[in-house]
Amino acid sequence: MDWRKFNGEKIKQEIDLEVEQIILKEKEAGHKLKVCIGTDSQVTGGVTEYATVIVFVRPKHGGFMLISSEKTKQKYTLKERMIEEVSRSIQIAYRICPLLDKHEVDLEVHADINTNPQFKSNSALSDAMGYILGMGFVFKAKPDAFASSYCANKIVH
């Protein structure tokens, strides 16, 4: 996965090294951090674009994010696409989790899935929740899943 900052600047090193440098820099500046990971997708003309974000939240002091995006022509049902979004978030959460544990940084995995049964994405809610919780991560869905529903959403829309 290729990662970049919100301003478009490419991350040249492995993402876990970048995350650790960010954590150390923020700690040195006196900020407490929380990390939220989320993925959103958009289908346009047979191409699905995924955006995964790592959001660094400084409670009461704003935040910033790192972004990875990818396009694929693979066809998905809505439920498959929702689970693929969750899978992409879990992959990166699993990769950086040891660093977050080492530096005592809280982690949440956000799913762009509506908790209201009237929405189609709700069909994937129980599977996504089980997947995320089963991996030992804190789970958030809409309307509390800002990393996927707002941050990643801005990248693919």
- Which residues are 99's β-sheet partners? none
Q: What is the mean pLDDT of the chain?
A: 94
Over the stretch 54-68, which tens digit does the pLDDT of each residue have? 999 999 999 999 999
If you write DSSP's letter for every residue of 5-25 in order, what string do you get?
ETTSPBP-S-HHHHHHHHHHH
What pLDDT shows up at residue 78? Answer: 92
Mean pLDDT over 125-134 rounds to: 94
> Could you tell me what percent of the chain has a pLDDT over 90?
87
Q: State the alpha helices, DSSP H only, in 40-148.
A: 78-102, 125-134, 146
What pLDDT shows up at residue 99? Answer: 96
What pLDDT shows up at residue 138? Answer: 96
What pLDDT shows up at residue 68? Answer: 97
Position of tokens 């290729």? 2
Phi, psi of 13 (to 5 degrees): -110, 170
Residue 130: how many CA atoms within 13 Å on its side-chain side? 6
Over the stretch 104-128, which tens digit does the pLDDT of each residue have? 999 999 999 989 889 888 889 999 9
Confidence of residue 41 (pLDDT cuts 50, 70, 90): very high
Three-state secondary-structure class, residue 135: coil
pLDDT for residue 157 is more than 80: no
What pLDDT shows up at residue 117? Answer: 87
What pLDDT shows up at residue 120? Answer: 87
Q: Give how many domains the chain has, as a whole number.
A: 1
We report the CATH number of the domain holding residue 136 as 3.30.420
How far, in Å, CA of 13 to CA of 34, rounded? 22
Contacts of 43 (CB under 8 A, 6+ apart): 49, 76, 81
pLDDT for residue 143 is more than 80: yes
What pLDDT shows up at residue 123? Answer: 87
Q: Whole domain around residue 125: which residue ranges?
A: 4-156
